[in-house]
Amino acid sequence: MNHPLSVARPCAALARSPLSVAIVALVATFAIATDASAQSAAQRAVDAAKPLCAGGKTITIVWEAGLQSLDPLNFSGPEWEKQTGCKVKVVEVPTAEMFTKIMQEFRAGTGAYDALNVIPAWMPDLAGAGALEPLDALVDKYGYRAELQKIAPTYRDNQMTVNGKIYGFPDDGDVFVMYYRKDIFARDDLKKAFKAKTGHELAVPKTWKQFDETAAFLTEALKKDGIYGAAFFREPPYTMYMFQERFRNEGGKFFDAGMKATVNNDIGVRVFNEMRAENKFMPPGVEKFGFVENLATFLKGQSAMTISWPPYGRFAAGYLANEKALDWVPKSTIAGKVGYAVPPGGHPQLAAGFALSVASTSKQKEAAYLFIQWLNSEDISMKRVQLPYALRDPFRDSHFTSKEYLAKWPDAKDYLAALKAGSQTGLLDLSLIQTDKYEEALRQGISRLWAGEDSKKILDDVAKQWDATTNQIGLDKQKAVYGAWAAKSGAYPK
Amino acid sequence: MRLSSRDRRFSLSLVAPSIFLLLLVGVFPLVYLLVVSFQGITMTELDTSFQGLRNFRMLFDDERLWQSLLHTVIFTAIALPLELVLGLAMAQLFIDKLPGRPVFVALLVLPVVVSPIVAGATWSLMFDQRFGPINEVISWMLGGETTILWTIKPDLVYPAILLAEIWQWTPFMFLLLLAALSAVDKSQLEAAAIDGAGWWRTFFRIVLPAIWPVMAIAILIRALDLFRLFDIVWALTKGGPGTMTETISIFAYVKGFQQFETSYTAAVALMIIVLLSVVVMAALKRVELTR
């Protein structure tokens, strides 16, 4: 790349007249501006970080423990150090403890963390407490706004700001996808039997009614071969997201205009009842299924349909199955047989996900900011979402259309199309002040549901706890936060 | 001998660091806890203003707190006698010289050296509905695949937790009681036998009084341990279904470290401290160990 000031040299002879001076100045300014906009956000971050990193600084970043953290440990951390001289220290924290650790450190004010991975639903709490640094000024300073706009709309519009200020860069396209066995749905004998039984064609379900009918039929037909019509993760922390999604897809609202909890309305009770009834056509003991148990069931070919996060699709396709870090993933017996679809209802939950933020107590906020800008940029995120061992999922428009990604396995185009569809219609996790209290009540309710208690009674208790929490926090205060959340495009199906 | 003021200062300077350390680790946290319990610190509010008795009033209205306390009492009331009886029976069994006795004793004591959270995780695998050996054995005995959800179904969660708890801590009772039984005066036992006293009479009149001080301490230690029961329950049920198996320790953890109800949790902690202090003092007085 030519340095922009080199444009000025041939013009030196003309520099005597005022008009010439003006023209030269105009051309030079244009050249500088053109060069700056041509330079990628990643390169800008690297160039700006170099002087800040002189002397070998270390950026400490909190990252989810496990596969997720292999990204900064094996790829992005060493690469950032190579390009800027800044070392990256990764503090691995289990998801369930991340919020606590971040808050504890913030309250202690030690400045131990510079950059953070935060689940977007936590942002109102963390930003409200002052634990996160507002990023607007730095975004403008380092010209990142244009690239932020290229993040897929649902993530960009819903997971970045609190009260209009940027507190994090959406960095993980977590969205629920429905996976189904194409080979099973293509079997003629099953098609005929299904038509004979129900009067309509065997097809990938688009509503929960269709899903229940199809899954029950497939279990009945295939159980003798050890295949169930469907299996889900049913542990309460996961099911909580599935309930939130389904409740809203069926028309439910979490609160009424007066901020009174309405999760115990007829829709909520019906969804609860249906969820429990579905366990009957799923593998025995499905109530205890977590992420791995459900994954193993699907990869072994023991369930015809499931709903989960995007990595299931990559694992099922056997994408780089020989990767050492993925030793724990059961070998896929269904590669090439998996179809991808938006879950019934059409609006999948953007369950959890991650955003990159800067800790307000960091002593090197600018260096931390530049690191997360670099991580989140078009160039670097494109590489990160394709790392076979990490769990970052596509979240930028360019990720869904990447020729390289589309060629990863034969059905990758369908996979990316399903993720893209989810990124356009996805539903946000409920996000309020002290969200965890609301979620905890729901998680407990789900564990009671599996224990066999009455759905209405459970949801009445959940609603009671939600109202108590709202009143404790302050009705008007929480109402304002809920109002802001509900106004977002991904809060409720439009 | 009367110390000169110089010597007194010197002696004080020698003990001062220890006293300071004791105050720092013993008294300061307690005082700080007391101060925080009268404030309004939460996750989002660093409100250090005086809130009066608000947090303590909230204790009385918090149904979940009292339920968790009740669950703790239930666990203690069932596990403690069972551990005591089983431990005593095992100790009685091993009091006589047996071939390979040291090896058996060492093996029996193994669960105690396992970290409780590991024990809980292990039992979670044992109770697993698909791969756990417990369901396997039951299925084999019943002659068909049986799925029993030990950590989900309300009528099974307490037995499951109690089984894990008793498995881990009965050996502790066994070890202490074995030591106590070994120290019982043999001549008294022989005299009782010569006088024709039966086993029960000998046990209640000679053995039990002899081992009572050790037994009382063992009961006290285990009761206090059971009162702060956390790990095994957390690993098996996380306090569920709902809050059905939530103990007071889990309640305090959730309130303090997941929901950041800092001041309220301080009030809960103070209540537990007061409650336990009263119980421990009464127990010590009863077994006359305060002397």
CATH code of the domain covering residue A93: 3.40.190.10
Spell out which residues of chain A touch residue B242, defining contact as CB-CB under 8 Å: 444-445, 447-448, 451, 453, 458
Our CA-based measurement puts residue A294 at a distance from the nearest CA of chain B, in whole angstroms, of 12
Residue B115 is part of which domain span?
A: 64-286
Q: Is A109 on the interface with B (CB under 8 A)?
A: no
Q: Are residues B72 and B174 in the same domain?
A: yes
pLDDT band of A14, cuts 50, 70, 90: very low
- pLDDT of A248 higher than 70: yes
Burial class of residue A27 (count of CB atoms within 10 Å of its CB; 0-12, 13-18, 19+): middle
Residues B11 and B74 reside in one and the same domain? no
Q: What is A97-153 written as a DSSP string? A: HHHHHHHHHHHHT----SEEEE-GGGHHHHHHHT-B---HHHHHHTT-HHHHTTB-H
- B264 in any annotated domain: yes
Nearest to A168 by CA among A367, A394, A368: A368
Give the C-alpha separation, A238 to A304, whole Å: 20
On the question of pLDDT at A23 being above 60, the answer is no
Distance CA B33, CA B35 (A): 5
Domain, as residue range, for A92: 42-174+352-409
Decide: A242 and A307 in contact? Cβ < 8 Å: yes
Query: What is the pLDDT confidence band of residue A67, given thresholds at 50, 70 and 90?
Result: confident
Beta-carbon count within 10 A of A128 CB:
18
**Partners of A303 in the β-ladder:** A228
Residue in A closest to B256 by C-alpha: A100
pLDDT of A470 higher than 90: yes
Query: Is residue B211 a part of any domain in this protein?
Result: yes
- Tell me which residue of A430, A443, A488 sits closest to A125, measured CA to CA: A430
Among A394, A409, A424, identify where a domain stops: A409
- A129: chain B residues, CB-CB within 8 Å: 43-44
- Number of domains present in the structure of chain B: 2
Residue A222 in domain = no
Q: Is position B70 within any domain?
A: yes
The larger pLDDT score, comparing residue A245 to residue A20, is at A245
Q: Is the dihedral of CA A474, A464, A487, A399 positive or negative?
A: positive
**Three-state secondary-structure class, residue A63:** strand
Residue A12 has pLDDT above 50, yes or no: no
Q: Are residues B101 and B235 in the same domain?
A: yes
Same domain, A19 and A49: no
| Chain B residues inside the 8 Å CB shell of A107 | 46
Contact (CB<8Å) A129/B145: no
Interface check B47 vs A, CB under 8 A: no
Neighbours of A470 (CB within 10 A): 23
Q: Is the pLDDT of residue A32 over 70?
A: no
Taking CA–CA distances from A443, the nearest residue in chain B reads: B242
Largest CA distance in chain A: 92
| Position A46 confidence tier, pLDDT thresholds 50, 70, 90 | very high
- Output the tens digit of pLDDT for each of chain B's 291 residues: 677 888 888 989 999 999 999 888 888 999 999 999 999 988 667 778 888 999 999 999 999 999 999 999 999 999 999 999 999 999 999 988 788 888 999 999 999 999 999 999 999 999 998 889 999 999 999 988 888 999 999 999 999 999 999 999 999 999 999 999 999 999 999 999 999 999 999 999 999 999 999 999 999 999 999 999 999 999 999 998 999 999 999 999 999 988 889 999 999 999 999 999 998 888 888 776 544
Nearest CA in chain B to A96: B258
Distance from CA of B36 to the nearest CA of A (A): 14
- Residue B169: closest CA among B126, B227, B249: B227
CB within 8 A of A480, min separation 6: which ones? none
User: For residue A284, what are the CA distances in angstroms to A86, B84, B223?
Assistant: 51, 38, 38
Q: B77 and B24 share a domain?
A: no
Do A25 and A54 fall into the same domain? no
Query: For residues B84 and B78, what is the distance between their CA atoms, to the nearest angstrom?
Result: 10
Q: In this structure, are B127 and B242 located in the same domain?
A: yes
Q: Is residue A386 part of a domain?
A: yes
- Decide if B139 touches A, using CB distance below 8 A: no
Residue A326: φ, ψ to 5°: -105, 20
Q: Which residues contact A65 (CB under 8 A, 6 or more apart)?
A: A92, A93, A94, A95
Q: Are residues A109 and A12 in the same domain?
A: no
CB B79 within 8 A of CB B226: yes
Which residues pair with residue A358 across a beta bridge?
A115
Determine the residue among A107, A447, A461 to mutate to test chain B binding: the one whose Cβ has the most chain B Cβ atoms within 10 Å: A447
Closest alpha carbon to A468 in B62, B41, B238: B62
Sheet with A338-341: list strands edge to edge.
Answer: A305-308, A177-181, A338-341
Interface test with B, best of A295, A300, A434 (most B CBs within 10 A): A434
Average model confidence (pLDDT) across chain A? 90
- Looking at residue A304, its amino acid is A
Cβ atoms of residues A119 and A352 within 8 Å: yes
Gap between the Cα atoms of A235 and B129, Å rounded: 13
Whether the pLDDT of residue A11 is over 60: the answer is no
Least reliable range by pLDDT among A60-69, A145-154, B4-13? B4-13
For residue A19, what pLDDT is reported?
A: 52
List CB contacts (< 8 A) between B145 and chain A: 284
**By CB neighbour count within 10 A (0-12 exposed, 13-18 middle, 19+ buried), where does B156 fall?**
middle
**For testing the chain A interface, which of B41, B63, B71, B129 should be mutated: the one with the most A CBs within 10 Å?**
B129
Here the ipTM equals 0.82
pLDDT digits (tens, 9 = 90+) for A378-403: 999 999 999 888 789 999 999 999 99
Banded pLDDT at A29 (limits 50, 70, 90): very low
Per the domain annotation, does A100 fall within a domain? Answer: yes
Q: Which pLDDT value is given to residue B5?
A: 85
Tell me whether residue B40 is in a domain.
no
Rounded Cα gap, residues A374 and A368, in angstroms? 10
Whether residue B191 sits in one domain with residue B93: yes
Overall domain count for chain A: 2
Cβ neighbours of B46 in A, within 8 Å:
107
In this structure, are residues A334 and A306 in contact, taking their beta carbons and an 8 Å threshold? no
Does any CB of chain B come closer than 8 Å to the CB of residue A237? no
Cβ neighbours around B115 below 10 Å, total: 10
Specify whether A29 is located in the same domain as A47: no
Q: What angle do CA B284, B290, B291 make, to 5 degrees?
A: 145
**A139 belongs to a structural domain:** yes
Q: Does A477 touch chain B (CB under 8 A)?
A: no
A128 close to B (CB below 8 A):
yes
Tell me what pLDDT residue A468 has. 95
Strand-pair category, A115-118 with B46-47: unpaired
User: Is B117 an 8 Å CB contact of chain A?
Assistant: no
The answer to whether residues A25 and A92 belong to one domain is: no
* Residue A122 forms part of a structural domain: yes
The answer to the question of residue A83 being in a domain is yes
Summarize pLDDT for A423-432 with one digit per residue, the tens. Answer: 899 999 999 9
How far is it, in rounded angstroms, from Cα A228 to Cα A280? 10
pLDDT tens digits, one per residue of A158-203: 899 998 999 999 999 999 999 999 999 999 999 999 999 999 999 9
Are A451 and A179 contacting, i.e. CB atoms less than 8 angstroms apart? Answer: no
Rounded Cα distance between B174 and B182, Å, is 12
State mean pLDDT over A434-444.
93
Tell me if chain B has a CB within 8 Å of the CB of A451. yes
In a domain, A481, yes or no: no
From A182, A170, A212, select the one nearest A339 (Cα to Cα): A182
What confidence category does residue A34 fall into, taking pLDDT thresholds of 50, 70 and 90? very low
For A471-483, how does the pLDDT look when each residue is reduced to its tens digit (9 = 90+)?
Answer: 989 999 999 999 9
When comparing pLDDT for A25 and B214, which is higher?
Answer: B214
B100 and B171 inside one domain: yes
The tokens for B41 are: 């610190």
Residues A128 and A160 placed together within one structural domain of the fold = yes
Cα–Cα distance, B177 to A374 (Å, whole number): 64
